[in-house]
Structure 1
Amino acid sequence: MTQDHAEVIALGALGWLAEADLLDTFMSATGAERDAIRAAAESPEFLGAVLDFALMDDTWVRGICDAQNLSYDSLLRARAALPGGDLPHWT
């Protein structure tokens, strides 16, 4: 997967989080501020954080993937294509 494609998936995930009323939970977990999210969404590192957050809950993964018509492993593959995503998973 290319980084550009991964960024599109992450932006879709961010939109889904907002529609699912999980944006406040995301902001609380990451320290992101509502007013700064739009600008931060241009950063591949921030988009990686969006996917890190989304990957914490299988229900969220399924919801995001269903909304974007993606296979359920797409978020993990997208995360691997963004900065910091090549780190090993120990669990």
Structure 2
Amino acid sequence: MLSSQEAAEAFAARILGWLAEDHARISAFLAWSGESPAHLRERLNDPAFLLAVIEFLMSDERQLLDACADLGVPPETPGQARAALPGGEQVHWT
């Protein structure tokens, strides 16, 4: 379970690495986020950017399941990481 911000940030960095392994995946992330390839390394210490990485992954179930399988983590791990980052808490509308 990823409950600390530090662990969540490290996991998000792993996701970014996974995205970067495939040209189509990283291109889709760059288009979605508006980031430039040159600034990716600079943003690795920015919790808001790392939250965006997780949210991008979670926006597509097939991508999420593929990443979890490749990274050897349960499918709930991205959601746990998201919740541990500032701004990523679950919203309850009731």
Provide the residue aligned with 2:4 in structure 1. 2
Provide the TM-score with structure 2 as the length reference. Answer: 0.88
- Largest Rg, 1 or 2: 2
Unaligned runs of 5+ in 2: none
Contact 1:55 1:75 in 2 (8 A): yes
Provide the TM-score with structure 1 as the length reference. Answer: 0.90
Runs of 4+ in 1 over 2 A off after TM superposition: none
Provide the residue aligned with 1:48 in structure 2. 51
Q: Deviations over 1:34-75 (max 9, x none)?
A: 100100111111000000100011111112211221110000
Aligned length: 90
Alpha-carbon distance between aligned partners in 1 of 2:90 and 2:61, rounded to the nearest angstrom: 20
Q: 1:20: how far off?
A: 2.6
Unaligned runs of 5+ in 1: none
- Aligned Cα RMSD in Å? 1.4
Paired residue for 1:14, among 13, 16, 19? 16
